[in-house]
């Protein structure tokens, strides 16, 4: 694969800061902790100032999701209303690539990385001096695609996005090894071998058969390659957390080439989230699984409920409930990854709704509507 050097995202991953109470410049006078930095960020008069403060004061933990949401909101006020429709789509795609890269990772550090990535994307869009090219279909020029794997990547939007993220993760890993030429060379060689293994495992070897994106074989190959790419960039990020090493590369060499269909991230297409609630679900592995579980409960209820009136009652109640969750839980700025509080709110609401659907549909008809429309975030323990 020929990876070109242009940047698809601007990600500045600075070292985690000490507790804010130890640094007076990271909070309003007389304040400390998360609230102190949040209030100081809100007082910043420009995207540039807010971004600079966040770069200096980020925690390297889940708290950064809250800080980044404030910065993204400040930045978006400067540029978003002026964006063309095409630029809005481009901005949303870049923001979602931040979430996509770290959605399958566990730990608060990765939540920080995803949120910081999004604040940097917003900062770049707000900077009038930054030249921006439209996000490509892949990490290389699709007009020059030669191999079967390259053609597959350029034929499928989802695989193209996986390739963009993998290229960024790989470039960062190589750049981090500038002072270690031996390990850097080992990583470059390992990446080449890995790409060859993926091509063979996903039946995308040159000359094996004419490539057709519409064929059944190609559909399987596309899913196979996407699953492998997602595992690879997650492994590169995991190895890079403590510093890329030859031992880490050796340990992940076989697993990184495993080719399997990518698992469902939610009950809907996470490549095209359309609401703040969907963005929140797709940015968090646990929320995605909670959404899948609730969707299964809802679909089973919809199929088993007796009669069209009751089915309509259920559908309309579920629609109102989704609007309630989106309007009640703090879901952050446009396109941004919601803070921890917002995620916890959604998770609690989804878990409670699953129990509610099961309980309400067993009640007498006269009580069913009131039960279904008793929207809550937290379960009443009384």
Q: What is the mean pLDDT of the chain?
A: 82
Q: Which two tokens stand for residue 248?
A: 């880490």
The pLDDT, as a whole number, for residue 163 is: 96
Report how far apart, in Å, the C-alpha atoms of 185 and of each of 14, 173, 177, 251 are.
Answer: 25, 11, 9, 17
- The pLDDT tens digits for 1-35 are 433 322 333 333 333 333 333 466 898 888 888 89
**How confident is residue 164, by pLDDT bands cut at 50, 70 and 90?**
very high
More confident residue, 208 or 113: 113
CB-based contacts of 346-349 (< 8 A; 24+ apart in sequence): 346/277, 346/280, 346/281, 346/287, 346/290, 347/286, 347/287, 347/290, 348/377, 348/378, 348/379, 349/325, 349/376, 349/377
pLDDT of 237 higher than 80: yes
Residue with tokens 């964006």: 83
Give me the pLDDT at residue 256, please.
43
**Nearest to 8, CA basis, from 155, 165, 191, 173:** 165
* Per-residue model confidence as pLDDT tens digits over 242-301: 677 767 766 555 444 454 555 677 898 887 778 888 888 887 778 888 999 999 999 998
Residues in the chain: 382
The whole-number average pLDDT for the span 201-226 is 71
What does the pLDDT read at residue 332?
A: 67
How is the chain split into domains, by residue range? 20-126, 142-256, 276-372
- The lowest-confidence range among 83-92, 205-214, 370-379 is 205-214
- How high is the pLDDT of residue 102? 85
φ/ψ (deg, to 5) at 54: -65, -40
Q: Which two tokens stand for residue 355?
A: 């129990």
pTM > 0.75:
no
Residue pLDDT, tens place only, 299-352: 998 888 878 888 899 999 999 999 999 889 888 665 566 666 778 889 999 999
**Per the structure block, which two tokens stand in for 281?**
């679900």
For residue 99, how far is the Cα from the chain centroid?
2
């Amino acid at each position: 694969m020929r990876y070109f050097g242009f940047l698809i995202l601007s990600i500045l991953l600075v070292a985690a800061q000490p507790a804010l109470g130890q640094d007076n410049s990271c909070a309003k006078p007389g304040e400390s902790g998360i609230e102190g930095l949040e209030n100081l960020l809100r007082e910043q008069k420009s995207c540039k100032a807010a971004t600079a403060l966040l770069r200096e004061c980020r925690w390297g933990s889940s708290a950064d999701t809250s800080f980044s949401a404030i910065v993204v909101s400040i930045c978006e006020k400067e540029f978003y209303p002026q964006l063309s429709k095409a630029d809005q789509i481009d901005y949303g795609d870049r923001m979602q690539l931040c979430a996509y890269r770290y959605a399958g990772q566990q730990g608060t550090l990765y939540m920080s990385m995803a949120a910081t990535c999004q604040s940097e994307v917003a900062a770049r869009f707000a900077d009038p001096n930054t030249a921006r090219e439209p996000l490509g279909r892949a990490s290389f020029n699709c007009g020059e695609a030669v191999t079967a794997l390259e053609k597959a990547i350029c034929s499928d939007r989802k695989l193209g996005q996986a390739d963009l993220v993998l290229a960024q993760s790989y470039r960062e890993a190589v750049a981090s090894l500038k002072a270690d030429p031996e390990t850097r060379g080992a990583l470059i060689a390992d990446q080449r071998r890995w790409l060859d293994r993926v091509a063979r495992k996903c039946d995308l070897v040159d000359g094996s058969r004419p490539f057709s994106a519409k064929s059944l074989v190609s559909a399987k190959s596309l899913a196979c390659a996407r699953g492998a790419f997602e595992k690879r960039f997650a492994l590169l990020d995991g190895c890079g957390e403590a510093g890329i090493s030859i031992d880490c590369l050796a340990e992940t060499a076989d697993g990184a080439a495993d080719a399997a269909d990518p698992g469902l991230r939610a009950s809907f297409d996470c490549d095209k989230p359309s609401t703040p609630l969907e963005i929140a679900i797709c940015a968090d592995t646990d929320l995605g699984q909670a959404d899948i579980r609730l969707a299964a409960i809802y679909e089973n209820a919809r199929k088993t409920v007796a009669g069209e009136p009751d089915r309509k009652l259920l559908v309309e109640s579920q629609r109102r409930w989704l609007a309630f969750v989106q309007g009640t839980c703090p879901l952050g700025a446009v396109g941004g990854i919601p803070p921890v509080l917002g995620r916890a709110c959604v998770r609690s609401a989804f878990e409670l709704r699953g129990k509610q659907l099961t309980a309400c549909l067993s009640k007498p008809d006269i009580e069913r509507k009131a039960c279904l429309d008793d929207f809550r975030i937290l379960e009443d323990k009384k």
